[in-house]
Amino acid sequence: MSYLSLLPSASCSGRRIGSICNYCTPRLCIVLKAAGLATETQVEIKIISQIASSRFNLSLYQVVEANSALLGDGLAPLDFWGASSDYGNVSQLFPSLYALIKTHDPGIPWHSREVAERGISNQAHLGMIRAAKILALSAIDLLINDRVFEHAKADFLNPKDQKGS
């Protein structure tokens, strides 16, 4: 028996993901079964795990954005990406956020050798220190300001289209 592991580089929407999206999974199963019939091969499909799409929390992002500005820099513009990842799974269970903090020059593809090599640069070190400060200030805001906490909680409990808001 042979096994096939499918981890495409792009989903049906063209966004980079690490798993088959929920939209594509049933269709892919049909294609695999048809290929099995055409080649007289027995096909058994077992979905071991699925990875959820990221869930954006605008209130948490606004807290982080404000603290970034407080430190003298704004965050880089953030286009919402609904990519699937282990973060996506966490963001379905708990209010979560992601933000992009500059650690290297623009134009370098993520998960590349170039990014890894720049990970030991002074620019990357300063970016990580800045990110830690922003997260610490944001955690303090959430702990001492009930209104901020409640907004983040409400965004999580009552999801709506927050992209580009």
- Domains in the chain: boundaries: 1-50, 58-157
Residue 85 is predicted with a pLDDT of: 67
The mean pLDDT of 47-69, rounded to a whole number, is: 84
Q: What is the DSSP string of the chain?
A: --------S--TTS---SS--TTHHHHHHHHHHHHHHHTT-----------PBP---HHHHHHHHHHHHHTT-PPPP------BSHHHHHHHHS---------S-TTPPTTSHHHHHHTTSHHHHHHHHHHHHHHHHHHHHHHH-HHHHHHHHHHHHS----TT-
Q: Which residues contact 50 (CB under 8 A, 6 or more apart)?
A: 19, 22, 25
What percent of the chain is predicted at pLDDT more than 70?
74
Q: What pLDDT, in 10s, does the model give residues 93-143?
A: 889 888 888 888 888 887 889 989 998 999 999 999 999 999 999 999 999
